Structure 1
């Protein structure tokens, strides 16, 4: 079966053991995508999409200042948005050193990318599966359950490191264990790798990713979730491999390093053939006009430079926060590699042992009595008694330390 609408010249050939048509669900391959009005024409007297020709009805309010909101209100909000957003894709392709915009898909956050990939590849019913490497991002399992597909778990290995700060640990991917799982279960269709990991903050090496991509027994797709890659080393991005591996998809987002969590723009970077299938299956107008407007501004050279400066500030603040946390005796040495915009530390009892119950209590007191909200991850594999703390402003980081000391003193 062929991929509807895909030119034969765009069918992938590398790696040799991977066949895209065999991994995509047959009903998706046969899908004739919905043709929306803007697929054909986007200029002229547009009377084809049943839009409100009188424009939007947002009242201007009391102010007449030319604010950012005013600029958005001046957009053609009564018209359906572009279904393709080529300028955004072209800019992303330039930033990530991709051959062209045909390697880029846009979704409503990376969560839509994750869900859509599962829907087009993995057959519902529980017989076919995804593989995850806990502790990891929880949406992989949530999407799997929603789509009624199985989940195979290959835990990351926490390697203890002993030093002045006490017992530390760095998570590592056991490629041999992943291969064992692949060999034991040919029904695995997708492997999710979070790099840098959430909540581990640890980047997976490109050599480890390539070992899995080169595994001839695995006929599915490897998805590398790089939501935090800009806080680590952007040159370590698996996006550099998509031209070589058609069985790879890299998920990114504007939520983290770009600071645009509210606009919900996610990115998939992959071989044009897989991007084509995603476009066939997506909702017709999944990216709104305001989102596209703000995203394109954020991807300008000037904004990109500002983003780099903020990343440098946050990374420096991460170092200072870790130093401050190390002065609190009831906080253990950080878990993970600290290569994202957060840190994860265990809460200890009076004997210096990890104490999950105490960590949960501290988490609740901080939020409910002290006005400081962190994330409790203490019941996940390898994260015993841990709190995950996002890097805030200098003032916010100082408040975290102050309130932690107050609560732990009792």
Structure 2
């Protein structure tokens, strides 16, 4: 039972009862939350607190993800559920978590903030995961395993069978971060395994393919028991009114999203081929995300060259396992053309 894994103080916690969480139904006069009844200079209805459980937004997300509303936690980006998982399951100074390196940096940061030891299990040379190595690194105090798939910064998906092996043998939570899943092949998500494994948590976001990074809306898909605990621990009003309203508007206009995603995937393939032809490029790693990891002859020099021309990429050369690499986001057609022109000029200059 997942309840046994939750820290005692969290399991016994009585959640803060906000005015809007206590009231259910329809009303025309609200005198329960000590809001400014005169209004707000920022706009209509912004003097009122937002829905603490994002009910209307969750209804749309439920249809979109084909997951029951009770299995959906919405947070301030994916970083909020990551932090909540540490607080709910890990005793500071005692427990540990595992991450597969190189990977997304927030797992390390969240561990440091919560005083939880983090164990690094390096990915294979092709950036694949060896579940047996992960299991060997775990002990009785290992509470969470973080798997980024498609992985940031490498771009590859983790093998589904390896993920299931961990779910079958590991006694803690397996957290699969699918921030870039919309750019991967159909059927790549492991969210369909939620009904089978109570200890699976799938993180997704509207910051990438859905183009809502500025709204900061991420989600954790998990068992109803786990979601209920997350709702108890989170800040009462963790997603503002405008963020909820704009997200609903965007999710009702999905045709643009699918078109943009297809174009991004096409541009990714174009960049993959074009970059691979450049003489200073050692390797372009296959990607199922909206970026490419590229190993070059001199990463710092190339980074500085592009920066001087107003083009910003991510220098990952100092990250263990990504030595000599730049991470390049797939831009628009025009942005990618500017990038390639700059790289061609660099190539001529370096000859």
TM-score surpassing 0.5? yes
- Distance (whole Å) between structure 2 residues aligned to residue 316 and residue 346 of structure 1: 21
- Distance (whole Å) between structure 1 residues aligned to residue 124 and residue 240 of structure 2: 41
Q: Does 1:222 align with 2:178?
A: no
Structure 1 residue 79: Cα displacement: 0.2
- Distance (whole Å) between structure 2 residues aligned to residue 319 and residue 172 of structure 1: 21
Q: Which residue, 310, 313, 319 being the options, matches 1:380?
A: 319
**Contact map agreement 1:205 1:236 (CA 8 A) in 2:** no
Give the gaps of 5 or more residues in structure 2: none
Deviations 1:319-364 (A, max 9, x none): 11112212210012212x310000011112xxxxxxxxx2112212
Q: Which residue, 260, 269, 277 being the options, matches 1:319?
A: 269
Give the structure 1 partner of residue 82 of structure 2: 114
Give the gaps of 5 or more residues in structure 1: 1-18, 59-72, 160-170, 349-357
**Contact map agreement 2:183 2:288 (CA 8 A) in 1:** yes
Give the structure 2 partner of residue 95 of structure 1: 64
Give the structure 2 partner of residue 397 of structure 1: 336
Give the structure 1 partner of residue 239 of structure 2: 287
**Contact map agreement 1:119 1:147 (CA 8 A) in 2:** yes
Give the structure 2 partner of residue 181 of structure 1: 137
Structure 1 residue 277: Cα displacement: 0.5
Deviations 1:203-244 (A, max 9, x none): 1122211110000xx221010000000100242211101111
Q: Does 1:32 align with 2:34?
A: no
- Distance (whole Å) between structure 1 residues aligned to residue 66 and residue 125 of structure 2: 33
- Distance (whole Å) between structure 2 residues aligned to residue 234 and residue 279 of structure 1: 30
| SS in structure 2 at match of 1:332 | strand
Give the structure 2 partner of residue 81 of structure 1: 50
Task: Give the superposed CA RMSD.
Answer: 1.2
- Distance (whole Å) between structure 2 residues aligned to residue 153 and residue 287 of structure 1: 32
| SS in structure 2 at match of 1:380 | coil
Q: Does 1:47 align with 2:31?
A: yes
Structure 1 residue 297: Cα displacement: 1.4
TM score, norm. by length of structure 2: 0.96
**Contact map agreement 2:128 2:159 (CA 8 A) in 1:** no
- Distance (whole Å) between structure 1 residues aligned to residue 145 and residue 79 of structure 2: 16
**Contact map agreement 1:83 1:286 (CA 8 A) in 2:** yes
**Contact map agreement 2:283 2:296 (CA 8 A) in 1:** no
Structure 1 residue 374: Cα displacement: 0.2
Which residues in structure 2 correspond to 1:151-300 (within 5 Å)? 151-159=118-126, 171-182=127-138, 185-215=139-169, 218-300=170-252
Structure 1 residue 33: Cα displacement: 0.1
Q: Which residue, 306, 309, 319 being the options, matches 2:256?
A: 306
**Contact map agreement 1:155 1:381 (CA 8 A) in 2:** no
What is the number of equivalent residue pairs in this alignment? Answer: 347
Which residues in structure 2 correspond to 1:341-380 (within 5 Å)? 341-348=290-297, 358-367=298-307, 369-380=308-319
Q: After TM superposition, where is structure 1 displaced by more than 6 Å over at least 4 residues in a row?
A: none
Deviations 1:95-119 (A, max 9, x none): 2222x10000000000011111111
Deviations 1:136-164 (A, max 9, x none): 000000000011000011111023xxxxx
**Contact map agreement 2:100 2:120 (CA 8 A) in 1:** yes
- Distance (whole Å) between structure 2 residues aligned to residue 203 and residue 290 of structure 1: 34
- Distance (whole Å) between structure 1 residues aligned to residue 190 and residue 174 of structure 2: 11
Q: Which residue, 73, 88, 93 being the options, matches 1:105?
A: 73
Deviations 1:38-68 (A, max 9, x none): 012263311111111111113xxxxxxxxxx
Deviations 1:110-130 (A, max 9, x none): 0011111111111111x2101
